Amino acid sequence: MKEFFKNRSYDMVRMFLNQFAISIFGLVLALAAGQAQNPTLRNITSVAAILFYLFLLYTMTWDLGFKDRAGVENGRLRRAPFTGFWISLCANVPNLLFALFISLGLWFPDVTALSSIGGVATSAALLLEGMFTGLLANRVGGVPLNAQWWVYFVIILPALLACTVAYQLGLKDFRFTRLSDVVYPESDRDPKPRRFFRAKRKSDSDHSDRK
């Protein structure tokens, strides 16, 4: 576990920062649609922001799986197909904590401390999960979705699913589109046989010239 956090902490932070950036984008769209008093536009922009967020997660995690592919094939890395899930789960720890605090505040509204913490968590979740703001403003049975405690757990699931699938497809080098068909820089995870043989041939050639 310690090794996992050491090797994947940068990926977790990247995933969290991507979420925050798209959250602000989605929140701005939701506020603009709200001022226009157009629920349909609000829902459409919210869905678009969510899909864009999931697309970024997918491409990022696919890339991680593809980079690990060489290490898995030559035995330097242990095959762990659920790496994408665990990275996403760790990146979503703040969302899970917000969901827990919001739930406690809604379950125990008469407990001042829990109610206050739940209110703060709701405001924080609005900033971190802004891409869902438009959809959560809809009412089900006369109650807004953002007033339902379980919603804050459910909205985490798409990210977990996208990252789980993306990493496994990256390991298999399976592409839905050619957007992932890029040239990756050499890294410690990638084998470097070509560089080794080029250097060896150059050394042998220089040695022959000296003779």
Please state the pTM of the whole predicted model: 0.78
Q: Give the residue ranges of DSSP H helices in the chain.
A: 2-35, 39-73, 83-91, 93-107, 112-128, 133-136, 151-154, 157-171, 193-210
72-93: average pLDDT: 90
| Residue indicated by tokens 């919001």 | 102
Residues in the chain: 211
Residue 207's pLDDT is what? 53
pLDDT tens-digit map of 86-145: 999 999 999 999 999 999 999 998 899 999 999 999 999 988 999 999 999 898 888 889
Lowest mean pLDDT among 47-56, 169-178, 184-193, 199-208: 184-193
